[in-house]
Amino acid sequence: MKKPLFILLSLLILISACTRVNNIKSDSVDTIEIVNDNHSYANIDEIKTTHLNLELDVNFENKTIYGVARHEMSDHNCDTAIFDIKGLEIKKVTLGATKEKETNYVIGKNDELLGQPLKIAIEPKTKYINIYYQTTSETEALDWLSPELTAGKKHPFMYTQGQAILTRSWIPLQDSPMNRITYSADVTVPPSLLAVMSASNETIKNNEGKYHFEMKQKIPAYLIALAVGDMVYNSLSEKCGVYSEPELSNACKNEFSDIPRMLSVAEKLYGAYRWEQFDIVILPYSFPFGGMENPRLTFANPTLIAGDKSLVSVIAHELAHSWSGNLVTNATWDDFWLNEGFTVYFENRIMEDVFGKDVANILAITEFQELEVALNDIENGNHPEDSQLKLSLTGRNPDEGMTDIAYVKGAFFLRTIEKQVGRKKFDEFLKNYFDKHAFETITTEAFLSYIENELFKPNNITFNTKQWIYEPGIPDNCIKITSERLNEMSLLADRINNGESIFEGKNKNLQRGDKITQEWQTFIRELSPNITSEQMMEIDEQLKFSKEGNPAIQSDWFQLAVKVGNKSVRPYMSDYLIKIGRRWYIESIYIALKESKDPNDLIWAREVFKKAEANYHYVSKSTIKKLLD
């Protein structure tokens, strides 16, 4: 319960604003650059967590986690420690490692985006702070799934999603990427289920349902993750494996068999993998992203199981995060491109080595197509400045910065540098960059200083860096990538746009399996919205996009159907929107329905969303709800 407020009136004077402007601070643990983080209340310039030990009881009956967050704190001289919370019920707070003593605390005013500051009275010698708490129905990071929403249909499932600022909704902590910590956890779950975390993991269930976890490398709070469900483990190599529901086990083993090779390629490029184990866990379809790079245990969406490995670039992406993002982390969410731009670049290098230059170019061009769409939307939206790499997200949800700008513009910025300085020199620079800043956070400005001093000046190179970082749009010197295979798909689409049938002559027996996913996406995206429903039905009859296409292809196909006005695919589209929770896939379809010239499409979209929203994680649900409202 809350403690009497009169005892802590002085604390309210200390922190009255929702954000803090911090200075560079050195302590006995390490030296970190502390800058303004407008998305955290935590006073990490004065005191910060160095190690977190969690005691968690996962209760599926009432969909609640009962927990104790035991924080080991840095040396300090302050009388208040401030943590971030959102949607949590705080039971009590104690100080001490063994003989715990209750202390006073006050919970500040709630902010719809940031949650609340938890201000705890401490002493100058306080080393351990223990926060007893439980999650609530307002906890946004957790997704509790009934058995019907799993592959096996027999057991419930639960997982967390913390990025960007949702970890505070299931753990009371200092939720800023600048504060890297180690953590351990003791988790109790039903004996029929397995618990796994972004830490050391067991590969089989135990009879007691009790699991212990250790993460010995320092990570930011958003990478603390937990999943609980009926899972089995498939080892792919000594360092790699896949957790999944038993029903998906064989498909996962086949689809992701190249992961060990990907890891070998990544290490050859930019140095040793520093997280010991690289496993992935396939979550239910409600997971809002293709993948999430939680160290040691990437969370992944089952939509990646395409059958032809054409979507495993997502796994290459999450693996690349083991260097860019997890090893070297953006200091604030305004610097998000430092995580994602580097990772998309690195991902493409892995794919080039494993699957060849042709496939890597196809992936890069497909991404650039998506970037162009995003640029148009941003330039005509409420924040045209968001097409800069360095963002200003004060007062806004960091999710608003998680666009193709950070991912793809960031990657093409690096590709353009590589072209100018040469791949050999650029690879050497990146390897040194990851080594120099390992297990640290970095700002955009610090990176610009580093690349200027370590790459550009030694090689007498002038580059329009500030234009790329601080100005909107794509600079003229952006590298151009071409692909004959994609050009062929564009020509195929042009034939249909001109009224021809493509299923004649050499294409008479054309099948969907003849091309990879990204080729079909280019084909669909090049089809004119002025083609007829009959033409779409002819294509669908031959290639079976609606019924049998993988989720990536279906998303593009259903968007086109809305623009064309083809209602025949509605049953398939409805099933898709109810089943799939991956935000990028479903949001694009809902946008097409909202922007349709037929007002009945928006009515239909709202009807489908009512049926589907219980199957979505908070991240997807809140995005679609805002869109349709």
Distance CA 259, CA 345 (A): 18
What residues pair up with 140 in beta bridges, in sequence order?
none
Four-CA torsion 44, 46, 52, 55, nearest 10 degrees: -100
One-letter amino acid at 454 equals E
Q: Taking the mean position of all CA atoms in its chain, how far away is CA 33?
A: 24
Find the catalytic residue in 211, 407, 590, 618.
407
Q: Which residues contact 571 (CB under 8 A, 6 or more apart)?
A: none
What residues pair up with 233 in beta bridges, in sequence order?
243
Q: Which residues contact 126 (CB under 8 A, 6 or more apart)?
A: 73, 76, 81, 95
Instruction: Write the DSSP string, 490-554.
Output: HHHHHHHHTT--SSSGGGTT--GGGS-HHHHHHHHHHS-TTS-HHHHHHHHHHH-HHHHS-HHHH
Q: How far is CA 336 from CA 164, 324, 379, 523, 553, in A?
A: 10, 11, 19, 31, 28
**DSSP 8-state code for residue 406:** I
**DSSP 8-state code for residue 115:** B
Distance CA 539, CA 572 (A): 15
User: Given 3-state DSSP classes, what are the helix, strand and coil percentages for the chain, each rounded to the nearest 5?
Assistant: 45, 20, 40
| Residue 358 host element (H or E) | helix 357-379
Distance CA 629, CA 615 (A): 19
Distance CA 514, CA 536 (A): 19
Would you say 102 and 93 are in contact if contact means Cβ atoms under 8 Å apart? yes
Map residue 159 onto helix, strand or coil: strand
One-letter amino acid at 132 equals Y
Q: Is the peptide bond before 411 cis (omega within 30 degrees of 0)?
A: no
Distance CA 609, CA 615 (A): 10
One-letter amino acid at 377 equals D
Would you say 420 and 461 are in contact if contact means Cβ atoms under 8 Å apart? yes
Nearest to residue 51, comparing CAs of 74, 82, 18?
Answer: 74
Would you say 589 and 577 are in contact if contact means Cβ atoms under 8 Å apart? yes
Is there a catalytic annotation at residue 318? yes
Find the catalytic residue in 293, 318, 340, 352.
318
Would you say 447 and 430 are in contact if contact means Cβ atoms under 8 Å apart? no
One-letter amino acid at 206 equals N
Distance CA 424, CA 416 (A): 14
What residues pair up with 324 in beta bridges, in sequence order?
328
Known catalytic residues? Answer: 318, 407
